[in-house]
Structure 1
């Protein structure tokens, strides 16, 4: 044996998966392919259909189940009850028509080949879902999530990801495990009761609980609390014979109603990435290269059929939403694959005795088609962009009209509106508030990042942009727009925290200017010595003047305007001090 006999079985399997997944993902990134494709390829190589170095797939599947839970948990946090409500018309009309058409067409075709209708409906549901992970990853990399194509695609994906909950509940009915209308109504009634309980908890209990936890400003306590909510809710739903995936999604919705939702997402995202990678590797391990070689014409034919059906259904939904032809065409290509949640549904169907399309090797065919389309999807999305550009130049289509509520809109602008050439203020304190006042007077866009719950309350009460979280988390750094910022400021932090923040800012944006404040001139000299910080203000009496002048100077504000803004901020501060003294 190559591996130590004393190593726990799960450690051996995970070590192989992570090493293989990392190596192949690196190759994928080098050639410009999204890492998910690399994970799928890694699974195919090390799985039973490849060189077979993984012996216990059940252990891998247990880790993959955690990946699905965390994927749905983060999905629930990003949705939020308010966002679901705002997008109701766009999501329901477009999503329902796309999923309904796809399911109906596939069902009709499968039934025409003599397959029992329940199996045909199950097959249609599998095909109706697209890959949220791949689509969002590719759109985000191309900064197209808020483009017209991105808006339509994400709206349909939202419906699909919500629909998976109902689909998982419906699978036992299709498999005949729940007989009688009374039992069916009881199953859905139980699920509805759980959803209502979650909504009540999200509106009442959860915000107060997370505010209390965040008061300690401890990353460890906060992360453990978030994971306890996720796994605890999933466990409770499992006790009620409801999917743990639904429980995880509902837990995310509960967290989404708190002001610290973005921070929660940032804390959980590294774990989600890890276990989601395990999930995609486990999917690749199910891929049987031998089956593909023996049934290549069948797999290619089925894949082509899926693409044609989804192109038609998505295009029909796009026209129903009155989108321009270019947006309809590119959006249809974006969603022309089968998604990761289809594997969740397929597993539920397997437990209920349902086989895709009723084929003798239906599961193998489904896996082969899905993995093939997932691998080709990033290339298809790029081709769709080219097609859209040609249609825009060759037609009289006007730029796509944004819906009254755009995908990605939220009540918290700091979390969703992309900024460029702006200021990022790290931390919450008196100097940060004065800097923000100066930026506002000068009409300079900014984002405040802080884990202090007082910052959230202050932001809500004053209407300021405040992003709850730690900028060291990749997700929070992306939300804050560090990559596109012109200047970043750490003016209420100790020198050690300033140095860490400066290193993070430089990693994301080597050209960004870093401005800090230090009480001790010696500390200021230390921070500037290594070049991490461009300028440190250490003048005790004129510190605020200098901070404002340096901050506005990086935005090329004329000197008279800078002096006027500085005077206004200092005057307001003086008035506030007098009121407090009185």
Structure 2
């Protein structure tokens, strides 16, 4: 029988990570700094160079890298292929220019201090790459991903992630000795290229034709945990497939997210993945902090003290100039430059590979690794300070691409969020579409989603009572949230979530009946309407017109009833005429005439007269 203690041996490091994050991150956020800095600082403190609470940082790196994988998946979910194509100039133009020019400059500096050409190439590429996780995390914290500078920054990061694949293929060709070239024959290299193309094709075909039916079947089961497990299966499966054929795991996850960006299950998938992404990404940042060897830093502090600022300011200057050449303002170019100045996560991949191939010595690789980690620590600090300076001393002026930015923003977040796509919600959405307002719609009924797809409406699978689903659907940016669900308890729960978390959005709510309408008024919704009231008003108005009343007379009668009903609702809200009936489960309000009757009721049959208590 296994020792019970062996089953909890994994708890101390987990508790260490959680405790370090719980202390460091709130502390850094309290003083106005990025959460990324908190994670990095926590990693330094608990790592081998600090308190040594974690003795082997390498043991968590593989798990921590999953945070970057999940981050790229969510980024892919938020993009459309059409929009990605529209960014091709920034991706392949600005992205390539940034990587090539920066690598050349850094590599030239490395040769100047005594590095071999091969070592200088590895160093230049490793330092030229930027920290995707840090940049996207900071853009998310600022809510700037959809701004012009945020889009350019993302385009550069995307090109860098794509370029890692050919870079890893080039390194063996640079290795000294003929054996490397012999071992990597033309046939072997073509075979690897074929495997990579086949893997990408498989992901595209499965994502295009298989994932929607797969998630539709799972959604019918109604089991949330199965949807979560399946979301992780898709992300990690695509990432593992890419890694097996020599590509980037992050690239596989991004591709999977991109293929699901148009899916009806996008918001639910994003909500399911988000908790794992945040936790693992924090773990990744802590692993970077733990990788900083303070002993090596002390031994080479003069060189690193000169090199780290040179890299940060040099990369910032180069990218600012290149961004300007590609149409950005000086301000946006500076913001992109300082955001992308830290070295990237792939430096920790390229440098060991280069050392293993003999392109760079082990000592030099450790030194460049320390330099990369220091830039990742200092970069966010400088970026935070710069943002404050720009906010305080530079007048806020519209960017030349402001209108384009608004268009892109509109593609991702709607002005209106409609929860519930039944018979009521469908009509609401049709009216909005008639005025060119493309709402985001959430519903849990798979058949409704399929029906909506037939006439071009965008309806996403999700539970409107989940805060994470509402956030993923853009509730924090919506001007109005229409709650069109038909269950009063569900509706009330959603209204409570809206008022607690999305106070800026106006709440328009479908009421089930009069008691529910009064309850919603007490919850201070901006507008409520009983589901059958206006249809009955319209019906009776048409009846009056058919009976000979003029259009004006029928409209006046309908308006009079509507006003009287609103007045009575207000009185009932204050508790005057309902007598507490709304507090009784299943209670009904006895209907009362809004106008004084002109005569006494008469039963027309014996049974009716008996019910009314009339004498025979």
Decide whether the 8 Å contact of 2:161 with 2:250 is kept in 1: no
Q: Please report how far the alpha carbon of residue 492 of structure 1 lies from its aligned counterpart in structure 2 after TM superposition.
A: 1.9
State how far apart, in whole Å, the 2-side matches of 1:496 and 1:314 are: 54
Structure 1 SS opposite 2:417: strand
- Does 2:283 match 1:284? no
Query: Structure 1 165/238 Cα, relative in aligned 2: closer, same or farther at 3 Å?
Result: closer
| Equivalent runs, 1:405-416 vs 2, <5 Å | 409=408, 416=412
Decide whether the 8 Å contact of 2:441 with 2:458 is kept in 1: yes
Decide whether the 8 Å contact of 1:44 with 1:287 is kept in 2: yes
State how far apart, in whole Å, the 1-side matches of 2:457 and 2:494 are: 22
- Does 2:507 match 1:514? yes
Query: Structure 1 481/226 Cα, relative in aligned 2: closer, same or farther at 3 Å?
Result: closer
Of 300, 306, 324, the match for 2:329? 324
Deviations 1:182-211 (CA, angstroms, capped at 9, x unpaired): 144433332223223322333333343334
State how far apart, in whole Å, the 1-side matches of 2:307 and 2:512 are: 68
| Equivalent runs, 1:258-337 vs 2, <5 Å | 258-337=263-342
Query: Structure 1 84/56 Cα, relative in aligned 2: closer, same or farther at 3 Å?
Result: same
| Equivalent runs, 1:390-405 vs 2, <5 Å | 399-401=399-401
Query: Structure 1 503/300 Cα, relative in aligned 2: closer, same or farther at 3 Å?
Result: farther
Decide whether the 8 Å contact of 1:233 with 1:247 is kept in 2: yes
- Does 2:268 match 1:251? no
Q: 227-236 vs 100-109, which deviates more?
A: 227-236
State how far apart, in whole Å, the 2-side matches of 1:235 and 1:511 are: 41
Residue number in structure 2 paired with 1:68: 68
Q: Please report how far the alpha carbon of residue 372 of structure 1 lies from its aligned counterpart in structure 2 after TM superposition.
A: 2.6
Decide whether the 8 Å contact of 1:515 with 1:536 is kept in 2: yes
Q: Please report how far the alpha carbon of residue 64 of structure 1 lies from its aligned counterpart in structure 2 after TM superposition.
A: 0.9
Residue number in structure 2 paired with 1:449: 442
Decide whether the 8 Å contact of 2:342 with 2:376 is kept in 1: no
State how far apart, in whole Å, the 2-side matches of 1:427 and 1:219 are: 18
Residue number in structure 1 paired with 2:225: 220
Query: Structure 1 332/377 Cα, relative in aligned 2: closer, same or farther at 3 Å?
Result: same
Decide whether the 8 Å contact of 1:36 with 1:280 is kept in 2: yes
Residue number in structure 1 paired with 2:159: 159
State how far apart, in whole Å, the 2-side matches of 1:342 and 1:545 are: 69
Decide whether the 8 Å contact of 1:483 with 1:509 is kept in 2: yes
State how far apart, in whole Å, the 1-side matches of 2:353 and 2:407 are: 31
Q: Please report how far the alpha carbon of residue 444 of structure 1 lies from its aligned counterpart in structure 2 after TM superposition.
A: 6.3
State how far apart, in whole Å, the 1-side matches of 2:277 and 2:481 are: 28
Deviations 1:437-490 (CA, angstroms, capped at 9, x unpaired): 344556767432334445554555444454554456666534544234444222
Query: Structure 1 222/170 Cα, relative in aligned 2: closer, same or farther at 3 Å?
Result: farther
Decide whether the 8 Å contact of 1:314 with 1:331 is kept in 2: yes
Residue number in structure 1 paired with 2:587: none
Decide whether the 8 Å contact of 2:355 with 2:361 is kept in 1: no
Residue number in structure 2 paired with 1:501: 494
State how far apart, in whole Å, the 2-side matches of 1:544 and 1:157 are: 57
Residue number in structure 2 paired with 1:148: 148
Query: Structure 1 76/302 Cα, relative in aligned 2: closer, same or farther at 3 Å?
Result: same
Deviations 1:18-40 (CA, angstroms, capped at 9, x unpaired): 12112211111111112111111
Q: Please report how far the alpha carbon of residue 217 of structure 1 lies from its aligned counterpart in structure 2 after TM superposition.
A: 4.7
Q: Please report how far the alpha carbon of residue 132 of structure 1 lies from its aligned counterpart in structure 2 after TM superposition.
A: 2.9
Residue number in structure 1 paired with 2:213: 208
Structure 2 SS opposite 1:144: coil
Query: Structure 1 358/305 Cα, relative in aligned 2: closer, same or farther at 3 Å?
Result: farther
State how far apart, in whole Å, the 1-side matches of 2:338 and 2:223 are: 44
State how far apart, in whole Å, the 1-side matches of 2:143 and 2:115 are: 43
Structure 1 SS opposite 2:485: coil
Decide whether the 8 Å contact of 2:424 with 2:484 is kept in 1: yes
Decide whether the 8 Å contact of 1:151 with 1:407 is kept in 2: no
| Equivalent runs, 1:32-111 vs 2, <5 Å | 32-79=32-79, 81-111=81-111
Residue number in structure 1 paired with 2:567: none
Residue number in structure 2 paired with 1:553: none
Decide whether the 8 Å contact of 1:165 with 1:246 is kept in 2: no
Query: Structure 1 350/114 Cα, relative in aligned 2: closer, same or farther at 3 Å?
Result: closer
Q: Please report how far the alpha carbon of residue 348 of structure 1 lies from its aligned counterpart in structure 2 after TM superposition.
A: 4.7
Unaligned runs of 5+ in 2: 539-551, 560-616
| Equivalent runs, 1:342-421 vs 2, <5 Å | 342-346=347-351, 348-349=353-354, 352=357, 355=360, 359=364, 361-362=366-367, 364-382=369-387, 385=390, 389=394, 399-401=399-401, 409=408, 416-417=412-413
Q: Please report how far the alpha carbon of residue 125 of structure 1 lies from its aligned counterpart in structure 2 after TM superposition.
A: 1.6
Q: Please report how far the alpha carbon of residue 517 of structure 1 lies from its aligned counterpart in structure 2 after TM superposition.
A: 3.1
Decide whether the 8 Å contact of 1:355 with 1:362 is kept in 2: no
Q: 206-215 vs 222-231, which deviates more?
A: 206-215
Decide whether the 8 Å contact of 2:77 with 2:270 is kept in 1: yes
State how far apart, in whole Å, the 1-side matches of 2:115 and 2:298 are: 25
Instruction: Tell me which of the two structures has the higher relative contact order, counting C-alpha pairs closer than 8 angstroms and 6 or more residues apart.
Output: 1
| Equivalent runs, 1:402-481 vs 2, <5 Å | 409=408, 416-417=412-413, 422-440=415-433, 446-454=439-447, 456-457=449-450, 460-464=453-457, 466-471=459-464, 476-478=469-471, 480-481=473-474
- Does 2:112 match 1:112? yes
Deviations 1:284-312 (CA, angstroms, capped at 9, x unpaired): 11123444344333222111221233124
State how far apart, in whole Å, the 2-side matches of 1:347 and 1:252 are: 29
Decide whether the 8 Å contact of 1:87 with 1:407 is kept in 2: no
Q: CA RMSD in A?
A: 3.8
Query: Structure 1 186/111 Cα, relative in aligned 2: closer, same or farther at 3 Å?
Result: farther
Q: 244-253 vs 380-389, which deviates more?
A: 380-389
- Does 2:235 match 1:230? yes
Aligned length: 535
Deviations 1:236-279 (CA, angstroms, capped at 9, x unpaired): 44554555444434433443453433432222111111111111
| Equivalent runs, 1:483-502 vs 2, <5 Å | 483-502=476-495
